[in-house]
Structure 1
Amino acid sequence: MTPSHPKIEQPRLGEPYLLTPGPLTTSYAVKEAMLKDWGSWDDDFRAMTRELRSSLLDLLGDGADAFDCVPMQGSGSFSVEAMLASFIPPEGKALVLANGAYGQRSAQTLQYLGRDHIVLDKGDYLPPRGDEVARILADDPAITHVVAIHCETSSGILNPVEEISEATYAAGRKLLIDSMSAFGAIELRPSDIRYEAMVSSANKCIEGVPGFGFIVARKNELEAAKGNSHSLSLDVHAQWAHMNKTGQWRFTPPTHVVAAFIEALRAHAAEGGVAGRGARYTRNRDVMVAGMREMGFETLLDNRWLSPIIVTFFCPADEKFVFDRFYNLMKDKGFIIYPGKLTVVDSFRVGCIGQMDEDVMRNVVRAAKESLEEMGVTNAAPPLRALEERAKLAA
């Protein structure tokens, strides 16, 4: 199918754009797909599950034959926990690469699971680098797995998973990737980046709605995962084996969400797949960032590390700027932004994904300008401390 620029629809009256990393603004076609009821045991729904799994594997490109796809009910964090519990055996040990809330959540999950682990904590936004991973693995031969976040949405940083993978496998260990907010818009081809398993979610770059995540893993790892999981419902091996045997989910599937996701997958393919979707999100980011910088806003990250998923901006130093009021003014204009998660300086985030194009992002910039004017903020420049923090990253 020839890739085409998608038709971006205006939200219904009173429905704002969600400038968040998911849930996000979806198309009418995705919403309408949820209007029909499906029997979870019916052959038609089994066919939908097959299409879902095979279409996701198609996004891997070369090397996909070695993998299989296992959808899992629940939010993305359910699938992350399922991956960690199923592929890190009870006697294993993990190195978690953390530079934000989601790396820390993986570490917390491992603590709940009783899996031995250590954390390379890079703070709010510094990227874990391959040479650091190599040194830690050389010093600790007990480590069996490395856990990396592809896009850390706390800051919007796109982590260097390729060099992390190279360091991991050079040391004879295995890599597990949380690609929750990146898969579908940023390539994660196993022919280019080696890993054993990755997870993502229906309501991210594929532009579906919340309700399930999915684990894409090597078949030999799925086979070896039998008996590892602590959980009946989050056992990836059991879900995989049951699906392959019966074509059904083990427990009640989110049928309407699956139907919406099938529609979203078809739209994703029509847009040109990962490359097409990623190109639109990149244009969204570039237009929005340029407009915000023109007003004096500063991004947390240098251009080198900016992801096309979500961007963190420092709050202005002007004492008239109050984030809660800015948030409500933006919402009144039709845009829901995201609070910041930095611990050192005040910030906020603007997402670039979902049913939005560069014209929408120009309207976002216009709304931000009008909101500042209504607040009486004449300069969006951040405090000096914020710029000092960014300089650490540049170094």
Structure 2
Amino acid sequence: MTNHDSALPAPRLGEPYLLTPGPLTTSYPVKSAMLRDWGSWDGDFRAMTVEMRTRLLAMLGQGADDFDCVPMQGSGTFSVEAMLGSFIPRDGKALVLANGAYGQRTAETLAYLGRDHVVLDKGDYLPPRGDEVAQILADDPEITHVVAIHCETSSGILNPVEEISQVTYAAGRKLLIDSMSAFGALPLEVARIRYEALVSSANKCIEGVPGFGFVIARKSELEAAKGNSTSISLDVHAQWATMNKTGQWRFTPPTHVVAAFLEALRAHEAEGGVEGRGARYIRNRDVMVAGLRDLGFETLLKDRWLSPIIVTFFCPADPKFIFDDFYELMKAKGFIIYPGKLTVVDSFRIGCIGQMDEHVMRQVIAAAKDTLDEMGVKSATPPALALKERAKLAA
């Protein structure tokens, strides 16, 4: 589809926009960067790895000299597992803050790793709060680490990581952050929010393509991690030590993905870094949410907890609304949306990230309106049960 109204170019004629939390719609320069082959041991590629690590560290702001960046092959989940297995000692114990699929996956990963852990399960969409975390830490002195999800994309909630950090360190424990879907658009300056390590991925807010993730951690934690991991390929310390000694990845790197990611990092800087990228995503969210609410749709979350990454909407109560049909009709108009992950009520999600701006979001609203008309849906109002569930957020 063409995009005459947008300040950003269309991804490619006929290519739909991915309204998802990654993989997402990338720019043509990012795609084009993958057209060249690179030798994984060559000096030019080693220089690319150095530039990538340096640019990522710069996003931490003042205090970044105490940290280092370790890219890891594979999907983002590979890097999450690498972080957990490398920084939580075998005799450690983690408190997992869960309010969706990714917190639950963290707990499952720790079980696979044989790491002792407890879970604060807030259900599908309630945020973990500082007083709750503080009480658990006070009651269980064996807990050594707290693991928080920055943005839980199964619901779209933005969790209060600064508040969580404050109570974690007040209790003398350490914080690990899964910022998979937020890093690069939401600030995590180490001078303001204390943590030992964070993890993210190439195909999220920096707008690269899938193929690797990265762990950013304190150098002191990286040094102390030697011997913790039970995996040869997911050992963050070993990857870090090898990169610093040789400039190379231990195993075959995703060379084309790294080249694309460097192009994305340069575009990220040109847009104004974390602040500029985040501002565009916030505007995307605000325009999209306002427009869909005008059509009668209701968000799962109150405004306070809405992330600028992805937003969950309740499905309409109208019996003519069938999500699979809505999905296909939106796709035919050039927009691929995301199914919901809630267990109590039906929902769907729309992402705000990627090569899109507010003009594209206005096209999304128009497409949704036309699609409801085609389906014969008279009202997008959700069922009473959905609004009852949302009322729990008022607590």
Aligned: 1:309 with 2:304: no
Q: Output the CA distance in 2 between the equivalents of 1:42 and 1:218.
A: 28
**1:335-363 superposed Cα distances (whole Å, 9 cap, x missing partner):** 00000000110000000000000000000
1:394 is displaced (CA, Å) by 1.7
1:84 is displaced (CA, Å) by 0.1
- Asked whether the equivalents of residues 181 and 205 of structure 2 are also in contact (C-alpha less than 8 Å), the reply is yes
Counterpart residue number, 2:156:
156
Report the TM-score, using the length of structure 2 for normalisation: 0.98
1:12 is displaced (CA, Å) by 1.9
1:128 is displaced (CA, Å) by 0.2
- Asked whether the equivalents of residues 7 and 357 of structure 2 are also in contact (C-alpha less than 8 Å), the reply is no
Matches within 5 A, 1:259-270: 259-270=259-270
Counterpart residue number, 2:62:
62
- Asked whether the equivalents of residues 12 and 28 of structure 2 are also in contact (C-alpha less than 8 Å), the reply is no
**1:245-291 superposed Cα distances (whole Å, 9 cap, x missing partner):** 00000000000000000000000000000000000000000000000
Matches within 5 A, 1:109-148: 109-148=109-148
Counterpart residue number, 2:320:
320
**1:268-324 superposed Cα distances (whole Å, 9 cap, x missing partner):** 000000000000000000000000000000000000000000000000000000000
Pairwise CA RMSD: 0.7
Q: Output the CA distance in 2 between the equivalents of 1:385 and 1:393.
A: 14
**1:100-150 superposed Cα distances (whole Å, 9 cap, x missing partner):** 000000000000000000000000000000000000000000000000000
Secondary structure at the residue paired with 1:354? coil
Q: Output the CA distance in 2 between the equivalents of 1:322 and 1:283.
A: 29
Stretches of structure 1 that go unaligned for 5 or more consecutive residues are 1-5
Q: Output the CA distance in 2 between the equivalents of 1:380 and 1:11.
A: 30
Q: Output the CA distance in 1 between the equivalents of 2:346 and 2:199.
A: 30
1:8 is displaced (CA, Å) by 1.2
Aligned: 1:298 with 2:298: yes
Q: Output the CA distance in 2 between the equivalents of 1:350 and 1:16.
A: 14
1:7 is displaced (CA, Å) by 4.9
One-letter amino acid of the structure 2 residue matched with residue 288 of structure 1: M
- Asked whether the equivalents of residues 196 and 221 of structure 2 are also in contact (C-alpha less than 8 Å), the reply is yes
Q: Output the CA distance in 1 between the equivalents of 2:278 and 2:84.
A: 27
Counterpart residue number, 1:3:
none
Matches within 5 A, 1:1-395: 7-395=7-395
Aligned positions, number = 390
**1:182-231 superposed Cα distances (whole Å, 9 cap, x missing partner):** 00000001111000000000000000000000000000000000000010
Secondary structure at the residue paired with 2:312? strand
One-letter amino acid of the structure 2 residue matched with residue 12 of structure 1: R
Report the TM-score, using the length of structure 1 for normalisation: 0.98
1:14 is displaced (CA, Å) by 2.3
One-letter amino acid of the structure 2 residue matched with residue 260 of structure 1: A
1:13 is displaced (CA, Å) by 2.6
Q: Output the CA distance in 2 between the equivalents of 1:133 and 1:123.
A: 15
- Asked whether the equivalents of residues 71 and 214 of structure 2 are also in contact (C-alpha less than 8 Å), the reply is yes
Q: Output the CA distance in 2 between the equivalents of 1:30 and 1:241.
A: 29
1:11 is displaced (CA, Å) by 2.8
- Asked whether the equivalents of residues 199 and 214 of structure 2 are also in contact (C-alpha less than 8 Å), the reply is yes
Stretches of structure 2 that go unaligned for 5 or more consecutive residues are 1-5
Secondary structure at the residue paired with 1:165? helix
Q: Output the CA distance in 1 between the equivalents of 2:190 and 2:390.
A: 33
Q: Output the CA distance in 2 between the equivalents of 1:7 and 1:272.
A: 16
